[in-house]
């Protein structure tokens, strides 16, 4: 029997009602699903049954409420009403979970009397990561299973808990043999027979826990979230479960959910949720990826080691080639030590570390790469070195193998041109540390084939990275925009701000670190070398700040030399008299009288610089879409996630402010500097915002 629009059906098997949710691809809990569930549960309640099993068709139980519906008034029935029907059902109801049971999908399961899960399932309440709090009982029913302190940790981190761990915590009652529907139904029927009666979680007592653990969990959650208001509210709601009658607490939770889902931050985070998924796609790309079963890496320095760890973690066999046996052994040792350190810290199981080590074959012979499906180089950032290497690889690699480069700035078309197979060449630009940072710029060079691009994207997914596709350009998307941001940060210093003023303005906006602290951390010599390389071709009329060159000339390369934009005598950044003197000299040499620059001016300039370069990157086709730029800056450059990224943030500002910001950027950059059409870039988002406002009020 189909209960609603074919997305939920009820059948009776062996005296049990089986309710199947079938809303591909991930069974998101849309209005139709809620309506279908309510109808089926009410019908099942009227039947003579031993119990009811709810399960999902396809690859998931329920991946969450339908996020697309969150920006508008929610249509009836809402999820709490569906859960009430389950609780009112006279038969025990068991959720049989496979794939994902997240957010509203886990709240639905918590509304059931029992939960069984496939061993590969994941469960959790990721609402806080979308700027929300759980809205259908998650904060009230979960503490009854796991205690208040654990519930605070789970709700406030949005952690996705694997089923075996969920069993240990008490989030599920039993594991099924597999995620096959028959196994799930059997496990659910067994659980119902064993329990034999209803067990509404809302009626269970909250286990009395140690108040110190609760306080510790709450402080940790607030610290990690940098005090986001929804996290503070989620903590209060979980605590309420032990203090207030359930009905009252559920109403408070629902009211908080309804408020947060229409806040600016929630719209921004939903924008990112969909932008992250869109960024994995290339419009019109039809090619199927080829399988990568063996990867080659050339260069085992900072990046090579991190990339190697990422590949091993994904279960990929890696042959890592270094220049000679000494550098080969050094790289292999550092990688092994990093794995041992993870074991010592309890982050990795010892047998898993051994398995990863066994996947690595260190080598000093290029010919060992002959059978690899993909070879990625992370050797020195030097065009001649990369060209020579690609020429060699071209003679060694099997036909159809992909040649990838991790270059940060170099022209991949020029590198590809030395091979006889430019169609197999692609950029894979990882960020440091490569095993931690999620962003991976996949660079589509002039001749890159669709197949190579599809394979690179599929590898990114396998590595758990967030890919963004870029075209060849100096610095691709991220480094190019970041260079403009850093350039304007330096202009601001020349005009009168101090490095501390600029860094404070950046962190006040929400950046993880300011541009000068970042420069000192990664080393000022890298950008210095690049500037020296570009010196001959630089437009002599373009504004150029000499201060960073002067710092490098005096040996101040950043933290590693004990000083850069700051002094680090005691390891902490302190303002430096040497730097102040260099800045004053530079201003005097150009006849600049320093002016007071406010925090607002600094923020507007830095963000304006990002927007201007973003518009150019879009106009030139280096990035496919505005959302890709938001994803790049958030995942690779510490741009605050809760703003939705720079372009989404800008679309929230009044047009007049953006105009003033762009005028300030153009004035500071001087005549001849490229100006992007920021207004054109923002126009579709301004239109989307008008729609949002209409939907919020239910007018659309």
Does residue 304 touch ligand NAD according to CB under 6 A? yes
Q: Which of 441, 494, 495, 613 is catalytic?
A: 441
Please give the helix or strand (H or E) that residue 31 lies within, else none.
helix 31-46
> What is the C-alpha to C-alpha distance for residues 316 and 653, in angstroms, rounded to an integer?
45
Q: Which of the choices ligand NAD, ligand COA, none does residue 299 contact, using the CB cut-off of 5 to 8 A by kind? A: ligand NAD
CA distance 488 to 510: 18
Q: Which helix (H) or strand (E) holds 607?
A: helix 599-619
Q: Is 121 helix (H, G, I), strand (E, B) or coil?
A: coil
323 binds ligand NAD, rule: CB under 6 A: yes
Residue-by-residue DSSP string for 620-686:
TTSBS-HHHHHHHHHHHS---GGGTSHHHHHHTS-HHHHHHHHHHHHHHH-TT-----HHHHHHHHH
68 counts as binding ligand COA under rule CB under 6 A: yes
Residue 302 partner contact from ligand NAD, ligand COA, none using kind-dependent CB cut-offs of 5 to 8 Å:
ligand NAD
Q: Nearest 10 degrees: CA dihedral of 475, 480, 485, 486?
A: 20
Q: Determine if 296 is a binding residue for ligand COA (CB under 6 A).
A: no
Q: What is the dihedral of CA 482, 487, 489, 493, to 10 degrees?
A: 160
CB-wise, 36 or 299, nearer to ligand NAD?
A: 299
Spatial separation of the C-alpha atoms in residues 350 and 320, rounded to whole Å: 22
28 binds ligand COA (CB under 6 A): yes
Binding residue for ligand NAD, selected from 322, 495, 601, 613, defined by CB under 6 A:
322
Residue from 100, 266, 303, 339 binding ligand NAD (CB under 6 A): 303
Partner residues linked to 471 by β-bridges: 444
| Residue 628 binds to ligand COA (criterion: CB under 6 A) | no
163 binds ligand COA (CB under 6 A): no
Cβ closer to ligand COA: 64 or 499? 64
The single residue among 44, 53, 63, 403 that binds ligand COA, judged by CB under 6 A, is 63
Whether cis (ω within 30° of 0) applies to the bond prior to 414 is no
Is residue 380 a contact point for ligand NAD (CB under 6 A)?
Answer: yes
Minimum distance between the CB of residue 107 and ligand COA, rounded to whole angstroms?
A: 8
Do 519 and 486 contact (CB within 8 A), yes or no? yes
| SS3 labels along 383-438 | HHHHHHHHHHHHHHCCCCCEEEECCCCCCHHHHHCCCCCHHHEEEEEECCCCCCCC
Pick from 588, 305, 383, 610: nearest CA to 480: 610
Binding-residue pattern over the window 262 to 291 for ligand COA, x denoting contact by CB under 6 A:
------------x--x--------------
Applying CB under 6 A, which of residues 290, 432, 507, 561 lies at the interface with ligand NAD? 432
Indicate which of ligand COA, ligand NAD, none lies near residue 66 (CB less than 5 to 8 Å, by partner kind). ligand COA
By CB under 6 A, residue 65 contacts ligand COA: yes
CB of 105 to ligand COA, least distance (A): 7
Catalytic residue among 153, 157, 408, 498: 408
Q: Which does 67 bind (CB under 5 to 8 A by kind): ligand NAD, ligand COA, none?
A: ligand COA
Q: Is residue 441 annotated as part of the catalytic site, yes or no?
A: yes
- Partner that binds at residue 104, options ligand NAD, ligand COA, none, CB closer than 5 to 8 Å by kind: ligand COA
385 interacts with, out of ligand COA, ligand NAD, none, CB within 5 to 8 A per kind? ligand NAD
Shortest Cβ 44–ligand COA spacing (Å): 25
Of the residues 77, 162, 229, 301, which one makes contact with ligand NAD according to CB under 6 A: 301
Q: Which residue has the tokens 């068709």?
A: 57
Which does residue 102 touch among ligand NAD, ligand COA, none (CB within 5 to 8 A, set by kind)? ligand COA
Question: Which helix (H) or strand (E) is 255 found in, with range?
Answer: helix 246-260
- 490 is known as an active-site residue: no
Residue 408 catalytic? Answer: yes
Question: Which residues fall within 8 angstroms of residue 452, CB to CB, at 6 or more apart?
Answer: 402, 423, 424, 425, 426
Q: Please tell me whether residue 391 binds ligand NAD under the rule CB under 6 A.
A: no
Alpha helix stretches (DSSP H) within 417-523? 450-462, 478-495, 499-509, 515-522
Q: Please tell me whether residue 394 binds ligand NAD under the rule CB under 6 A.
A: no
For 302-336, the three-class secondary structure string (H helix, E strand, C coil) is HHHHHHHHHHHHCCCCEEEECCCHHHHHHHHHHHH
Task: List the one residue from 60, 407, 612, 643 that touches ligand NAD (CB under 6 A).
Answer: 407
Catalytic residue among 479, 498, 576, 651: 479
Among 26, 118, 310, 611, binds ligand COA (CB under 6 A): 26
Candidate residues 122, 188, 298, 401; the one interacting with ligand NAD per rule CB under 6 A: 298
Token pair 């985070």 is found at 269
Which residues, listed in sequence order, are joined to residue 101 by a DSSP beta bridge?
62, 123
- Answer yes or no whether residue 25 interacts with ligand COA by CB under 6 A: yes
Return the HEC string of 348-365.
CCHHHHHHHHHCEEEECC
State the angle between helix axes of 478-495 and 499-509 in degrees (0 to 180), rounded to the nearest 10: 130
3-state SS string for 533-570: HHHHHCCCCCCCCCHHHHHHHCCCCEHHHCECCCECCC
Contacts of residue 64, Cβ cutoff 8 Å, sequence gap at least 6? 26, 28, 29, 100, 102, 103, 104, 105, 126
Stretch that binds ligand COA, among 63-71, 290-298, 316-324, 328-336 (CB under 6 A): 63-71
List 98, 271, 429, 488, catalytic entry: 429
Map the footprint of ligand COA across residues 84-143, applying CB under 6 A: 100, 102-104, 126-127
Residues that bind ligand NAD (CB under 6 A): 298-304, 321-323, 327, 378-381, 385, 389, 406-408, 430-432
Residues that bind ligand COA (CB under 6 A): 25-26, 28, 60, 63-68, 100, 102-104, 126-127, 274, 277
Q: Among all residues, which ones are annotated catalytic?
A: 408, 429, 441, 479
């Amino acid at each position: 029997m189909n209960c609603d629009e074919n997305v939920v059906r009820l059948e009776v098997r062996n005296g049990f009602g089986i309710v199947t949710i079938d809303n591909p691809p991930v069974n998101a809990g849309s209005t139709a699903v809620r309506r279908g569930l309510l109808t089926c549960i009410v019908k099942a309640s009227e039947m003579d049954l031993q119990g009811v099993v709810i399960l999902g068709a396809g690859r998931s139980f329920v991946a969450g409420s339908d996020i697309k519906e969150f920006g508008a008034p929610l249509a009836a029935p809402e999820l709490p009403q569906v859960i009430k029907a389950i609780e009112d059902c006279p038969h025990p109801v068991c959720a049989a979970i496979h794939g994902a049971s997240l957010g509203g999908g886990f709240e639905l399961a918590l509304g059931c009397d029992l939960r069984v899960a496939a061993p590969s399932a994941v469960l959790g309440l990721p609402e806080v990561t979308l700027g929300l709090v759980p809205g259908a009982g998650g904060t009230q029913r979960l503490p009854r299973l796991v205690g208040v302190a654990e519930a605070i940790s789970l709700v406030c981190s949005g952690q996705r808990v694997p089923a075996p761990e969920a069993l240990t915590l008490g989030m599920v009652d039993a594991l099924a043999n597999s995620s096959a529907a028959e196994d799930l139904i059997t496990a659910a029927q067994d659980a119902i027979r064993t329990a034999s009666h209803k067990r509404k979680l809302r009626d269970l007592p909250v286990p009395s826990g140690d108040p110190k653990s609760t306080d510790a969990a709450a402080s940790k959650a607030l610290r990690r979230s940098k005090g986001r208001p929804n996290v503070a509210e989620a903590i209060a709601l979980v605590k309420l479960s032990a203090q207030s009658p359930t009905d009252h607490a559920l109403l408070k939770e629902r009211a908080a959910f309804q408020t947060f889902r229409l806040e600016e931050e929630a719209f921004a985070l939903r924008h990112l949720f969909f932008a992250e998924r869109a960024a994995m796609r290339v419009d019109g790309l039809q090619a199927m990826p080829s399988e990568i079963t063996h990867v080659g890496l050339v260069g085992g320095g900072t990046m090579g080691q991190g990339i190697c760890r990422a590949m091993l973690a994904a279960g990929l066999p890696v042959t890592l080639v270094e220049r000679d046996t000494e550098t080969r052994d050094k790289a292999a040792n550092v990688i092994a030590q990093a794995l041992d350190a993870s074991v010592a810290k309890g982050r990795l199981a010892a047998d898993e570390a051994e398995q990863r080590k066994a996947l690595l074959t260190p080598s000093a012979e290029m010919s060992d790469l002959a059978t690899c499906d993909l070879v990625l180089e992370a050797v020195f950032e030097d065009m001649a070195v990369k060209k020579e290497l690609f020429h060699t690889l071209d003679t060694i690699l099997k036909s159809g193998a992909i040649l990838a480069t991790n270059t940060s700035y170099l022209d991949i078309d020029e590198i590809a041109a030395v091979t006889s197979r430019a169609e197999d060449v692609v950029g894979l630009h990882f960020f440091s540390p490569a095993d931690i940072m999620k962003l991976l710029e996949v660079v589509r060079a002039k001749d890159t084939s669709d197949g190579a691009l599809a394979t690179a994207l599929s590898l990114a997914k396998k590595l758990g990275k967030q890919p963004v596709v870029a075209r060849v350009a100096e610095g691709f998307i991220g480094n190019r925009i970041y260079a403009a941001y850093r350039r304007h940060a330096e202009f601001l210093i020349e005009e009168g701000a101090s490095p501390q003023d600029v860094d404070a303005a950046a962190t006040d906006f929400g950046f993880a670190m300011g541009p000068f602290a970042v420069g000192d951390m990664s080393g000022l010599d890298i950008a210095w070398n690049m500037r020296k390389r570009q010196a001959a071709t630089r437009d002599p009329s373009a504004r150029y700040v000499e201060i960073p060159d002067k710092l490098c000339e005096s040996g101040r390369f950043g933290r590693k030399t004990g000083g850069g934009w700051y002094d680090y005598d005691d390891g902490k950044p302190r303002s430096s008299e040497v730097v102040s003197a260099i800045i004053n000299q530079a201003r005097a040499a150009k006849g600049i009288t320093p002016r007071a620059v406010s925090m607002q001016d600094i923020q507007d300039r830095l963000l304006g610089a990002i927007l201007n370069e973003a518009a150019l990157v879009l106009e030139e086709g280096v990035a496919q879409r505005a959302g890709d730029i938001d994803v790049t800056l958030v995942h690779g450059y510490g741009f605050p996630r809760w703003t939705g990224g720079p372009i989404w943030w800008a679309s929230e500002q009044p047009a007049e402010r953006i105009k003033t910001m762009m005028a300030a950027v153009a004035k500071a950059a001087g005549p001849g500097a490229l100006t992007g059409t920021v207004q054109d870039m923002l126009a579709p988002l301004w239109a989307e915002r008008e729609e949002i406002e209409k939907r919020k009020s239910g007018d659309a």
